[in-house]
Structure 1
Amino acid sequence: MQTKLVIFDRDGTINQDRDDYVKSADEWIPMPGVLDAIARLNHAGWHVVVATNQSGLGRGLYDMAALNAMHAKMHKLLAAAGGRIDAVFYCPHSPDDHCNCRKPAPGLFEQIAERYGMELTRVPCVGDTLRDLQAGAAVGCTPHLVLTGKGEKLRGKPLPDDYPAGTLVHNDVSAFADWLLQQPEPASKTVGKAASKSGSRA
């Protein structure tokens, strides 16, 4: 049986985003209800991973020690809520680097597919921006938009035409978890075309 996997964006989806970038553990603040939502998914057998652009590294706004401290805080708070994130896949590059791992490019998702030895067809990917969903859709993921972070601006509005076909919209991660836990099992077993492998490093 294939791994039950769900892929989340980080800033604006799991934690509050900032116009000046989340640069420290103190600035990493979870969205309301998100820790319990991830824990509920875990308890139902879902493995949660994160795919996140962290161009603040490439821009020199923070260093690896700061990023590790943010994720240590995330893991600690999740553990206290009874949840866990299996792994964090991140792109450290700035847009000028023209890498394959900065979303909307699919490199991070290709790395996840390789790590788990599975195709990502119909694996849910959740984010608050178009590029999050474009990156997942490129490898066959089912796109889910949350109306938090940058997604807030679409609240009460129709989804723009440039969003991937079949995009589902949820108020937040808690609402997404409610939806996913109501789906028939196993939601991630369908196999499609193999995801392409990437040599890029995030």
Structure 2
Amino acid sequence: MITEVITAAALPTAGWALTAGLLGHKLHAARRDPLSRLWTRMPWMRRTDRLIRRHQATHALMLDLDGFKPVNDTFGHPAGDAVLRATGARLADFTAQHGGRHTECARLGGDEFVATLTLNDNDVATFTDGLAHELAQPVPWPGGPLIVTASIGIVAIADLEQPSASTVLKRVDEAMYAVKKARGGQGHRAPRRTTAAHGTEASVQPAEGASR
């Protein structure tokens, strides 16, 4: 009888534990973009604020895919989703390898992505060139590999007055759109010592020789 009472009493506890575990899993999933598996905006902002307070992030970047809409229009939304997944994975991998110890990446929505980094000022241009090159690699697709380039804006957190995730997001957004306008999305723009931006010509096409 005592064993039966103990077992019966344990059932609600086990049920609550299972429910709490499921809720925790759903909450964690809600913080991640389901397509790219990167952070969504708010978790990224909270983590970026923490990195800024601890002086563990020196730069932030935002990228926007050039000519992404024609991917969806020409090859359909599944092709666009493949490009977004590849972009998220490449951004995460490249920043993990070259962006210092403290990096956080997020997909803001659509084809816009953001990241915080720990870089030396002298490494900013090399890093941005390397990331642009990585993002421009063909994305495998049944109708032919897709090639999509990116406009990348990058800013130094030390340049900002009272830096926070909100001010970082505003400034890096401005830097990225300045790239979009400059030379049709090509070239570098470095108006200040610690601010750089990089963009590339839009290119959305199957690889040469692939069927459409």
Give TM-score scaled by structure 1 length: 0.28
The structure whose residues are more often strand, as a share, is 2
More helix by share: 2
Of structures 1 and 2, the larger Rg is shown by 2
